[in-house]
Chain A
């Protein structure tokens, strides 16, 4: 039932009530749903509030489902309460205008639960599926192909993410502003090289603990992602000063760099960035780190 029908049902019920104004007690649901309650009251309520209200009466149920129809943000990250799957089914049935979908660490989430929600919400701008370990690339397909306004996609620790899924992203999603595929071990270097050639608007990027991130990948990022502001490369053991230098030269808007546990990245490439006042997570005291790039290692031995 759409919002207008639900509200008209309630108004029709009111029309049979006593019309003597002294005897009619105004209740919450007598106030305009479209003009007041949904845009001004429901927008301040959490999902928990809405579901408590929904269970209180049939009128409240109709109201809450009308409010869910228009709700633009679903924030369930970290939520693993009892009956969450049932609640999600209600949301999948009702929501039609979701733009921000926050489902990080929702280990209960499956393709079967997620696909119905995605079928009716193609205007998604932000999707956070970090650590959603029980979904598959099948759930990602409608997001990649249908959501033309997608700007933020977070898939950290989604070990199920395949090269094929990233290839599909390359083909359909070139307007991403924020992207996180940290801890996704199945993505190959070549796939990433091709991917970053298309992502010209990227501003925030996390590739932490992604073993296939090499200097070649960083060179592509430097060449094509000129808008980059924040990059996380923690634990990318294959990168060196050469890759960092490529980013340093071309990404002039860079503001922060996370580079811990990258032993081949030294102050040779970090010093120019420190002079630019970049926020770098590794402290500067580490200037005597063993430099694997050096052809004359004896110069760097610490006695």
Chain B
């Protein structure tokens, strides 16, 4: 099966060429729309992904393999749990943001939902202003005379 399945050539922003099975790329609406155009349907054509790095594309492919084409009924919480299980290296916040950007660019709804729910859960787990600042590496530059400050 591996020899006969159609492969789609994707070039990431760091100039790395990836050959990805077509059935996985069909979960990426951006790629799916391009493949429906004649100019990109030729197997020799390379589709550029200027906003996606090699590392991120590998994460995206792992996600597409895990989610499968038929699992569209999962809720946000389930998707977030699947994300943590599938991509344990995603503990670093910066990688989550890169992955969120990639999911938005490639229009992978399930991955976008999973990453955004993951971030929302992190914010929800913060019980104080200090923990929010620490989580996002924010420097509190709001003046002390701001009357509409912390609510709780």
Using CB atoms and an 8 Å cutoff, list the residues of chain A in contact with chain B. Answer: 25-28, 30-32, 35-37, 40-41, 44-46, 48-49, 51-53, 55-61, 81-84, 86-87, 89-90
- Given A31-B101, A44-B76, A57-B142, check contact A52 B116 (CB 8 Å): no
Interfacial chain B residues near A48, Cβ < 8 Å: 151-152
Residue pair A56, B151 in contact (C-beta under 8 Å): no
- Cα-based distance from A89 to B137 in the complex (angstroms): 28
- Residues in B with CB closer than 8 Å to A41 are 116, 119-120, 123
Q: Which partner residue on chain A sits nearest B118 by CB separation?
A: A41
Q: Which residues of A contact B116 (CB under 8 A)?
A: 36-37, 40-41, 44
> B138 to chain A: which residues have CB within 8 Å?
56-57, 59-60
CA distance A63 to B138 in the complex (A): 13
Q: Does B42 contact A (CB under 8 A)?
A: no
- Inter-chain contact A53/B150, CB cutoff 8 Å: no
- Judging by beta carbons under 8 Å apart, are B140 and A57 in contact? yes
Which A residues touch B124, using CB under 8 A? Answer: 44-46, 49
4 nearest A-B residue pairs (beta carbon): A44-B120, A40-B116, A51-B151, A57-B138
Choice from B76, B94, B129, B137 contacting A52 with Cβ under 8 Å: B129
Q: Do residues B151 and A83 form an inter-chain contact, with CB atoms below 8 A? A: yes
Q: Which of A37, A58, A86 contacts B148 (CB 8 A)?
A: A86
Question: Closest CB of chain A to B74's CB: distance in Å?
Answer: 15
Interface size bucket, B side?
Answer: 35 or more
Tell me, rounded to whole Å, the shortest Cβ–Cβ distance linking B147 to chain A.
7
Evaluate contact between A55 and B123: CB separation under 8 angstroms.
no
Contacts of B119 in A (CB 8 A): 28, 41
Q: How far is the CB of A211 from chain B (nearest CB, A)?
A: 41
A147 to B142, CA, bound (A): 37
**Beyond A44-B121, A49-B126, A55-B142, 17 extra complex contacts between A and B, CB < 8 Å:** A27-B137, A32-B101, A36-B116, A37-B116, A40-B113, A44-B117, A44-B120, A45-B123, A45-B124, A51-B152, A52-B129, A52-B132, A52-B151, A52-B152, A57-B142, A61-B142, A83-B150
Is the Cβ of B104 less than 8 Å from the Cβ of A32?
yes
Q: A40-B112, A56-B133, A57-B139 are known contacts. Are A90 and B148 too (CB-CB below 8 A)?
A: yes
Contact string, B88-132, partner A, CB cutoff 8 A, digits 1/0? 000001100110110010000000110011011101101011001
Is B150's CB under 8 angstroms from A26's CB? no
Name the distance in Å between A18's Cβ and chain B's nearest Cβ.
15
What number of A-B contacts does a CB cutoff of 8 Å give?
104
Cα distance A27–B142 when bound, in Å?
Answer: 18
Looking across the interface, which residue of chain A has its beta carbon closest to that of B115?
A40
Are B147 and A51 in touch, CB under 8 angstroms? Answer: no
Q: How far is the CB of B4 from chain A (nearest CB, A)?
A: 37
B141 within 8 A of A: yes
From A46, A55, A89, B129 is in contact (CB under 8 Å) with A55
In the complex the two chains form, is B150's CB within 8 Å of A45's CB? no
Residue on A with the closest CB to B126?
A: A52
In the bound complex, residues from chain B placing their C-beta under 8 Å from that of A89 are: 148
Contact A81-B94, Cβ < 8 Å, known A41-B116, A56-B136: no
- Report the Cα distance A59→B136, complex, angstroms: 12
A232 CA to B78 CA, complexed, in Å? 38
Contacts A53-B123, A55-B150, A57-B141; A36 near B112 (Cβ below 8 A): yes
Name 13 A/B residue pairs within 8 A (Cβ), A-sorted.
A26-B94, A26-B97, A27-B137, A28-B136, A32-B101, A48-B151, A52-B123, A52-B129, A56-B132, A57-B138, A60-B132, A60-B136, A61-B142
Residues of B within 8 A of A59 (CB): 138
B70 CB–A CB distance under 8 Å? no
B contact residues around A46 at 8 Å (CB): 124
> In the docked arrangement, what's the CA distance between A1 and B76, Å?
31
CB-CB under 8 A for A52 and B128, given A25-B94, A27-B137, A44-B76: yes
Interface centre among A35, A51, A57 (most CB of B within 10 A): A57
Residue of B nearest to A32 (CB): B104
Residues in chain B near residue A60, CB distance under 8 A? 132, 136, 138
